[in-house]
């Protein structure tokens, strides 16, 4: 009877499975998810344990790191670990592998970084690559109840990063958000899609200075100045007039 119930549960899964992993959507084959018979994913999608809940759109929901899950899928597809250059989330990825019951993948992550550290130790005098990085931000000044006489602070919505991918990763490391980059994983190219996970422009400047970059030039759009129309509900009219955009170009020789 139990074997029959397992077979019925497995029969409910489509050959193509749609997933929502921590808010990131994936579409993959059922055969990929069940490739490692001892893994948690195989148990979930073969009827051995209860399947994950579904979200409002009918996708199976997994409350895990959505960005790192792509490497779990790649490992199941290729039976090999392939990571981008300057990948900095080793321990988090190893934890994801252990959670999903993939000890072989966890071991491959550890070996990958042992080899990388050995290579770095063998070439301590390797020089830093030259290049340019452009940092930009859009912000506004926040006003108090008394308007211009009560300016409180500068608000930054997002700090953008443009430049050669390898340089950007080298400088900003884990603070660099690559989630909207369609060519994630390739390093020998340029991008204008990266942004930082924080909104502290001074922190970004400090990180550039620590990596040997110096400011080569800057420009700004100034404030909006003129009358604004079609404001979103709750947006202060006077504050909206003081929106501004600035860019800074850094160089390392």
pLDDT digit string (tens) for 29-74? 999 999 999 999 999 999 899 999 999 999 999 999 998 999 999 9
Answer yes or no: do 116 and 142 share one domain. no
Answer yes or no: do 219 and 153 share one domain. yes
For the four alpha carbons of 136, 142, 148 and 151, in that order, the dihedral sign comes to negative
| CB-CB contact of 66 with 22 (8 Å) | yes
Answer yes or no: do 155 and 100 share one domain. no
Q: What is the mean pLDDT of residues 16-21?
A: 95
Counting the structural domains of the chain, the total is: 2
The mean pLDDT value of the chain amounts to 80
Among candidate residues 69, 87, 122, the one where a domain is terminated: 122
Of 172, 208, 217, the C-alpha closest to 191 is 172
Nearby residues of 211 by Cβ (< 8 Å), 6 or more positions away: 128, 170, 171, 252
Among candidate residues 122, 153, 177, the one where a domain is terminated: 122
pLDDT band at 155 (very low <50, low <70, confident <90, very high): confident
> Which residue in the block uniquely carries the two structure tokens 């211009």?
148
Answer yes or no: do 85 and 158 share one domain. no
Answer yes or no: do 239 and 140 share one domain. yes
Question: Does 2 score more than 50 pLDDT?
Answer: no
For position 235, what pLDDT does the model report?
52
Question: Does 145 score more than 90 pLDDT?
Answer: no
Answer yes or no: do 57 and 34 share one domain. yes
pLDDT band at 143 (very low <50, low <70, confident <90, very high): low
Which CATH number fits the domain that encloses residue 21?
Answer: 3.30.710.10
**What does the pLDDT look like over 87-104, one tens digit per residue?**
778 889 999 999 999 999
Answer yes or no: do 240 and 192 share one domain. yes
| Structural domain boundaries enclosing 43 | 2-122
For position 7, what pLDDT does the model report?
42
Q: What is the mean pLDDT of residues 111-129?
A: 65
**What does the pLDDT look like over 157-213, one tens digit per residue?**
789 999 998 888 889 887 888 776 666 656 578 888 888 888 888 889 998 998 899
Answer yes or no: do 91 and 145 share one domain. no
Among candidate residues 65, 97, 122, the one where a domain is terminated: 122
For position 102, what pLDDT does the model report?
95
Q: What is the mean pLDDT of residues 78-83?
A: 89
What is the distance of C-alpha 234 from the center of its chain?
A: 30
Of 7, 18, 14, 76, the C-alpha closest to 47 is 7
Q: Between 21 and 176, where is the model more confident?
A: 21
Q: Between 6 and 170, where is the model more confident?
A: 170
pTM: 0.50
Answer yes or no: do 73 and 157 share one domain. no
Q: Where are the beta strands (DSSP E) in the chain?
A: 16-21, 24-29, 60-62, 131-144, 147-164, 176-177, 190-196, 214-220, 244-252
Residue 172: how many CB atoms within 10 A of its CB?
25
What percent of the chain is predicted at pLDDT more than 90? 42
pLDDT band at 116 (very low <50, low <70, confident <90, very high): low
Answer yes or no: do 193 and 142 share one domain. yes
Q: How far is CA 176 from CA 14, 161, 169, 197, in A?
A: 36, 8, 7, 6
Instruction: Return the SS3 of 48.
Output: coil
Question: Does 249 score more than 80 pLDDT?
Answer: yes
Q: Between 180 and 149, where is the model more confident?
A: 180
């Amino acid at each position: 009877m139990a074997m029959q119930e397992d077979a019925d549960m497995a029969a409910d899964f489509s050959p193509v499975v749609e997933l929502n992993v921590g808010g990131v959507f994936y579409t993959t084959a059922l055969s990929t998810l069940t490739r490692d018979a001892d893994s948690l994913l195989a148990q979930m999608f073969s009827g051995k344990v209860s399947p994950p809940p579904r979200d409002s759109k009918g996708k199976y929901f997994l409350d895990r790191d959505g960005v790192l899950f792509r490497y779990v899928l790649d490992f199941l597809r290729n039976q090999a670990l392939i990571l981008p250059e300057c990948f900095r989330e080793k321990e988090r990825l190893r934890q994801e592998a252990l959670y999903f019951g993939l000890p072989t993948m966890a071991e491959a992550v550890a070996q990958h970084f042992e080899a990388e550290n050995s290579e770095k130790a063998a070439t301590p005098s390797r020089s830093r690559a030259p290049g340019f990085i452009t940092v930009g931000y859009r912000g506004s000044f926040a006003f108090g109840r008394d308007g211009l006489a009560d300016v409180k602070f500068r608000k930054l919505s997002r700090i953008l990063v443009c430049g050669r991918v390898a340089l950007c990763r080298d400088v900003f490391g884990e603070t660099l958000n690559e989630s909207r980059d369609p060519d994630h994983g390739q390093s020998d190219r340029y991008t204008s899609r990266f942004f930082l996970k924080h909104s502290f422009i001074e922190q970004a400047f400090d990180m550039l200075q620590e990596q040997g970059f110096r400011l080569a030039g800057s420009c700004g759009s100034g404030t909006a100045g003129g009358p604004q129309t079609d404001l979103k509900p709750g947006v202060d009219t006077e504050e909206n007039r003081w929106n501004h955009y600035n860019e800074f170009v850094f160089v390392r020789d």
